[in-house]
Amino acid sequence: MDYIDLEYEPNEKDLIAMYYVEKDISCESIERACHEIAKESSIGTWTDIRTMSEEISERLRPSGFYIDKENNIVKIAYTHELFEADNMSQILSAIAGNIYGMKVLNNLRLLDITFPREIVNVYKGPHFGIEGIRKLTGVRERPLLGTIVKPKVGLNEIQHAKVCGEAWEGGLDIVKDDENLTSMVFNKFEKRVEETLKIRDKVENETGEKKIYMANITAPMSTMRQRADYVIDHGGEYIMLDILTVGFSALQEIREYLDDKNVVVHAHRAMHAALTRNEKHGMTMLALAKLMRLIGMDQLHTGTVVGKMEGGKREVLETNEVITESTISGNNITMLNQNWHHIKPTLPVASGGLSPLHVPDLINILGKNMVYQFGGGCHGHPKGTKAGAAAIRQAVDAVLDNITLEDYAKNHPELNKAIEKWGSISI
């Protein structure tokens, strides 16, 4: 088995991929499955070929160097020469490509990737990162708080801007478009941006607080460039995009295009669960998050633990770690080592089914270095969006002042109404 070498010790120039593997009944062992994965993802094929030289084999052959039969985990080390360093699409075509379709496997899940310095060095990572976002927003000691305009689609441009204004007036920092709101027949992108940023300027002047609007520029690349420019030309400082539906090459290109334009990139993970939810197949959110940090997303949805979206505590905490820490220490089961060198950290975002009542758990589990976004948990407030925003801000103030929500609500009617509405809902 030329692609298995359990004595091999990876060096600093190796890219290491860690997989969960379930072999087919036709495959005699997990060692054979690991061999086939390494072969198919690199220089090998199903039969001996006359064009394979000993020199190519020795120089480029990967090594399956770790096999955990109890947990069905294998690790494969690839020389960096197998990859076009600044081409994430090509890298994934190798380590997450044809291998998923091999008959010798019933299930295959890419758990994690460690990138060597030769690859890390060609990427810029986030332009702003956590510190840059904190500086831009002026929010230092608490989580950033936001909402998503609801309904997702249906409001016209004026109605959309009005909802944004009410959320900002109530105390939220951020309002963003939802993942499927781009430029619709009833809500055109350009007019929505104009009207919403007018309201933003008005509320900033009234409150003295920085307010952020994240316009969704998701589209074909040429249109994304135009939309990003439109946001910037009208005084916008953030754009958002749907990272998986636009694709990895588009992410790299838009990150490069925006490099000197001083705009924060917010990454929505729409479609991720098609890849990440099956615990035996696809890839982990952790692996996807590493890719996003390397490519250069400033903010990334990573999960809530509580709320309506799937994603357990360990998964979310580990994912947040790999995008916020400068050095990652692996654990052989779900995480590999990674030194990010010059790559700035990405700010994690929690969103999905959250109400003000989730705030204590959110801060207790995920901390303050987060963006917390409340959609229905803002607009569903009995007194409307502005009151919903106020209740969210009040809930955060209560937690940071070490006061229970119930006690704080005695003198804060917006939070009290939120408790009346959502207090019976399991969180």
- Judged by DSSP in three states, 111 sits in strand
Other Cβ atoms less than 10 A from the Cβ of 72: the count is: 17
Q: What angle do CA 71, 72, 77 make, to 5 degrees?
A: 115
For the CA atoms of 122, 128, 129, 130, what is the dihedral angle to 10 degrees? 170
Among residues 35, 39, 75, 150, the one annotated as catalytic is 150
* CA–CA distance, 37 with 30 (Å, rounded to integer): 10
Q: Which residues of 362-378 are buried (b: 16+ CB within 10 A; e: fewer)?
A: bbebbebebbbbbbbbb
Residue 358 a catalytic site member: no
* CA–CA distance, 184 with 178 (Å, rounded to integer): 13
* CA–CA distance, 371 with 324 (Å, rounded to integer): 13
Please, are residues 318 and 147 in contact by the beta-carbon 8 Å criterion? Answer: no
Candidates 66, 103, 2, 20; CA nearest to 334 is: 20
* CA–CA distance, 21 with 191 (Å, rounded to integer): 50
Residue 266 a catalytic site member: no
First to last CA, the chain: 51
* CA–CA distance, 235 with 214 (Å, rounded to integer): 12
* CA–CA distance, 76 with 336 (Å, rounded to integer): 12
Among residues 268, 358, 386, 417, the one annotated as catalytic is 268
* CA–CA distance, 190 with 192 (Å, rounded to integer): 5
* CA–CA distance, 249 with 427 (Å, rounded to integer): 38
Residue 423 tokens read as: 């207090």
- Judged by DSSP in three states, 425 sits in coil
Give the phi and the psi of residue 209 in degrees, each rounded to 5: -110, 150
Catalytic residues: 150, 268
